[in-house]
Chain A
Amino acid sequence: MSQCWSHFSHDADMGVRGQGETLEQAFEQAGVALTAVICNPDTLSPQTRVEIHCEAPDIELLFVDWLNDLIYQMATRKLLFGRFKVQISDQQLLGQAWGEPVDASKHAPAVEIKGATYTALSVSKVQGNGWIAQCVVDV
């Protein structure tokens, strides 16, 4: 399965989905999908790097924590991230996110993300063919 991201519909909010050959790639692509809720990720250069560390009792909660940590970093540092790298082992995630400061006139951010939710939450292996990680984010 080649890596990619997508959005899926949810009435009031937005579903984000990442796919990849590995679990980590699926998480990274979901990061891109998260940014794409706000703006076009292709407009972002990797000027600043932020480290992420989270842990959770299962892989699905870990996925939500990953997204929520990205949301927190974007909100407090006023950054938008376009590139991601993730390592997962033993219910722990170490990640990096690269991006640039928010510029309303350049990025025209459509909406602010409040948090990642457990709605439509799923992290699963597609039979013999990679991973999908998704959930709805509240905007």
Chain B
Amino acid sequence: MQTNIPVKHEAEFTWRVEPSGQMRVPAIIYATQELIEGMDAKVFEQACNVAKLPGIVQASYAMPDAHWGYGFPIGGVAAFDADEGGVVSAGGVGFDISCGVRTLHTGLHLEDIEPRKLQLADALFRHIPAGVGSTGAIHLSGSEMKAMLKGGARWAVEQGYGTEADLERVEEHGCMAGALPGEVSDKAKKRQKNEMGTLGSGNHYLELQRVVATYDDAIAGAFGLTQGDIVISIHCGSRGLGHQIGTEFLKRMVVSAGGYNITLPDRELACAPIYSETGEAYLGAMRAGINCALANRQIITHLTRQVFNKLFPGAKLNLLYDVSHNTCKLETHRIEGKKRQLFVHRKGATRAFGPGHPDIPSALRPFGQPVLIGGSMGTASYILAGTRESETLAFSSACHGAGRAMSRRKATKIWHGRSLVDELAVRGIVIRSPSLRGVAEEAPGAYKDVSEVVEAADRAGLARKVARLEPLVCVKG
């Protein structure tokens, strides 16, 4: 293992660091032997640093795809009790507030798509703004911005970018309560004004995918997934607004920490007591950021439906589900038999409520919440379902993706965008991107094996494997 911190192999997929020094709780990492041996040293250091924060409950967790993050490891989960001086951390949510994935059915199959794949790829690339300098078609006025930050995907549906049925299939029914647009700075709003309905860049994408395997007939049936189905997955977040909120509150929390008697083990772990002016301001702004991400994915869904209406009239793009993986949410969890209200940070980790949870849409409730795991470009993605055990394991959380295995710099030294695009084309995968360097940075080989990460999550009990998806078209910024 790449760490000097003593790590105990507690159970087959569970690794534990006992509290020592200023740690208030243990650090627990879910992984296979191979995954944990591949984890960089910072994962262990950061999981232990999180365990030192005031008001942390039960443990500081890391998911099977954990890697070096900002204060929190990416793949980090930690819950705090406000009544015990618990904190909220901007680093524990990240710069891309509510970055997440939504998956749409199409009702189509490979034989429908294949003859028009290039045409579809070009149409999606043209119609959905992506990449540096891109602008959405929607330009929000001051009052529209406020309404969007308060209403999220619900606002977007009210503007005509979808239906009520969509909202049923989004976390928080598409609208995060407690958003305070007034706590979002003018700079953040200015950064977002012209970016509604844009995809972003880096590891963000819109993919056309085929269901190549299902692993649980009952759950796959409930989720409407059959082998051969074509689905669409959209991975993006709160765009410039979320990034600006993250930037501003990180500084605010670093500067105010001393005043709240918080000793930061690491400046990146900037945080504030939940019951404080800074803490409450951040929660209000972060919730507005969540709404921005939900609205953004709703608008991109609408743009995608417009493309399909032209090329495949009659195709119904119904929403399976929309998950977020950079949030802090107030949730009820059972700790030692007692219900407690906790602020659960998931940084590069996905909520995974188990069967019976009231927040899951009624049609899916007996089966567990869909958990959408994005793969790296050109490999595979997975759909899982939340389990009952996940609550005691990690406050109903699962991994969010493959996680990077190497830096962007190293990736561009090993791979060249042009040859990658050509190699993927030979395999039947069409890539559309404005930058070949961007493609190289996202090379499949630069990421961990998503199948291994998902297998670990399944066998650890965090979420159950339901379906494997392979890409046909990948549009990125």
Contacts and interface: CB of A to CB of B under 8 A. Distances in A.
Interface of A: 7-14, 38, 56-57, 61, 64-65, 68, 71-72, 75-76, 78, 80, 101-105, 107-112, 114-119, 121, 138-139
A68 to B, nearest CB: 5
Contacts of A11: 40, 67-68, 404-407
B333 interface: no
Given A65-B251, A101-B133, A117-B70, 10 more contacts: A9-B410, A11-B407, A76-B190, A103-B133, A104-B132, A108-B436, A110-B201, A111-B438, A115-B244, A115-B247
A78 B244 contact: no
**4 closest A-B pairs by CB:** A102-B133, A109-B132, A9-B407, A114-B243
Contacts of B357: none
A6 to B, nearest CB: 10
Nearest to B238: A114
Nearest to B437: A110
Q: How large is the interface on B (under 10, 10 to 19, 20 to 34, 35 or more residues)?
A: 35 or more
B268 A10 contact: no
A93 B243 CA distance: 22
A117 B132 CA distance: 20
A109 B254 contact: no
Contacts of A9: 407-410
Given A57-B255, A65-B251, A121-B267, A76 B438 contact: no
Interface in B31-73: 40, 67-70
Contacts of A110: 201, 435, 437-438, 441
A138 B70 contact: yes
B250 A12 contact: no
Given A111-B201, A139-B408, A119 B70 contact: yes
A61 B133 contact: no
B71 to A, nearest CB: 8
Interface in B201-254: 201-202, 240, 243-244, 246-247, 250-251, 254
Interface of B: 40, 67-70, 74, 94-96, 131-135, 187, 190-191, 200-202, 240, 243-244, 246-247, 250-251, 254-255, 267-268, 270, 404-410, 434-438, 441, 477
13 contacts: A8-B409, A12-B67, A75-B240, A76-B190, A101-B133, A103-B133, A109-B434, A111-B435, A112-B201, A115-B95, A117-B268, A119-B70, A138-B70
Nearest to B266: A118
A81 to B, nearest CB: 13
Contacts of A108: 434-437
